[in-house]
Chains A and B, each alone.
Chain A
């Protein structure tokens, strides 16, 4: 049995997927946000029959977690499963199996690669001497082009593949894409370091002592940073606070 979901309802589900973290909590995490996003699709399927709606809505309010940008894959695929009349157990098993990979793929692709990579690009543009507004604009445009593209692609691929979306994701190889993007991000980092060293007001004009200190700090971070990210992060935050206070008092 395959029922069509109105295209307007599909668009509504996609738009609601932006709000999926809106009621995040420790018990169900994305659960109620997921159900909220599914609602227009379920309404279209069950023709607003409130009695039939109750059960699937409850099912989709259960515990769920994934990367917000990739949650569209799960939403699309769950809509496909509901439209195909898959049983409650299949829907549950699907959502249980998909949340882990969607979380870890999204974390490494977006939080650990795309966001820092584009931030570093924007910083490099600033240190090249272009106005700050350009740097902010480039960041917002490039970051969100990837962000929105990923969301749209994910929702579509989920809806077309249904529960077999795993096979498709394997072919697309998101972790391979992450590895390639990471190389580009490292290139941007090199660019940033270059302009930071050479630019006016950069390290070149900081003087020998500060130059040596920063090189030593960089080396310590490179060698030991991953053993002690918490002390490192604390030191970073404390020094930013101290420097800001010092700057304000001066």
Chain B
């Protein structure tokens, strides 16, 4: 088990991930699964700055699906990150992530997004993506930092629902 964390966080590599989770899980590398970032050198430069020297690999969801088993067996400890729930959903399709835990980190306020937790603002599409993830056998929980309270899907979706 060498993918030590699957996380959805629109900020990808930032303090909470690199310091909060990184200090706890000690990853050797970050795997960023994102279609657009693989072809954007300047964006990769910026995200790498946030990784404090740890290796960062940018891959498309398609490549990630092929490499998933290799990463799992690899001795290198990885944290796998996506910006959107849909990208994680794409990875999970066909039961590829069955039995895994997916952590929801930060998705911030924006148009059409409702607040479920202070760090989690979801659209209706996000919610159906989450339900799809669960149907693929993935255990979804929300937790911004390793030392904060873990919220499971059921509790999460019962939360506040208000457009603002």
The residues of A with any CB-CB pair to B shorter than 8 Å are 26-28, 62-63, 93-94, 96-101, 103-105, 107, 163-167, 169-170, 175
The residues of B with any CB-CB pair to A shorter than 8 Å are 10-15, 18-19, 36, 40, 42-43, 45-50, 52-53, 108-110, 118, 164
Q: Are A104 and B19 in contact (CB under 8 A)?
A: yes
Q: Are B109 and A100 in contact (CB under 8 A)?
A: no
Nearest chain B CB to A182 CB, angstrom units: 14
| Closest chain A residue, CB of each to CB of B53 | A175
Candidates B11, B36, B164; contact of A99 at CB < 8 Å: B11
Nearest 3 interchain pairs by C-beta? A100-B14, A166-B45, A101-B49
Q: Are A97 and B14 in contact (CB under 8 A)?
A: no
Q: Are B42 and A167 in contact (CB under 8 A)?
A: yes
Question: In the complex, A43→B1 CA distance in Å?
Answer: 54
Q: Are A100 and B118 in contact (CB under 8 A)?
A: no
Candidates A28, A63, A104, A165; contact of B50 at CB < 8 Å: A104
Question: In the complex, A99→B43 CA distance in Å?
Answer: 12
- Chain A interface main SS type: helix
> Can you list 9 pairs linking A and B with CB atoms under 8 Å apart?
A94-B43, A96-B10, A100-B15, A101-B14, A104-B18, A105-B49, A166-B48, A170-B48, A175-B52
Q: Are B15 and A96 in contact (CB under 8 A)?
A: no
Q: Are B11 and A100 in contact (CB under 8 A)?
A: yes
Nearest chain B CB to A27 CB, angstrom units: 4
Nearest chain B CB to A33 CB, angstrom units: 15
- Chain B interface main SS type: loop
Most buried by A among B40, B43, B46, B108: B46
Q: Are B109 and A28 in contact (CB under 8 A)?
A: yes
Chain A residues, Cβ within 8 Å of B19: 104
Q: Are B14 and A103 in contact (CB under 8 A)?
A: yes
Question: In the complex, A107→B20 CA distance in Å?
Answer: 13
Chain A residues, Cβ within 8 Å of B109: 26-28, 63
Nearest chain A CB to B107 CB, angstrom units: 10
| Closest chain A residue, CB of each to CB of B83 | A96
Candidates A63, A93, A97, A103; contact of B15 at CB < 8 Å: A103
Chain B residues, Cβ within 8 Å of A94: 43, 46
Q: Are A169 and B11 in contact (CB under 8 A)?
A: no
Q: Are B50 and A62 in contact (CB under 8 A)?
A: no
Question: In the complex, A26→B118 CA distance in Å?
Answer: 8
Chain A residues, Cβ within 8 Å of B18: 104
Most buried by A among B10, B15, B118: B15
If A100-B14, A100-B50 are given as contacts, then 19 extra A-B residue pairs at C-beta distance below 8 Å, sorted by A number, are A28-B109, A63-B109, A94-B46, A98-B46, A100-B11, A100-B13, A100-B15, A101-B13, A101-B47, A103-B14, A107-B15, A166-B42, A166-B45, A166-B46, A166-B48, A167-B45, A169-B49, A175-B52, A175-B53
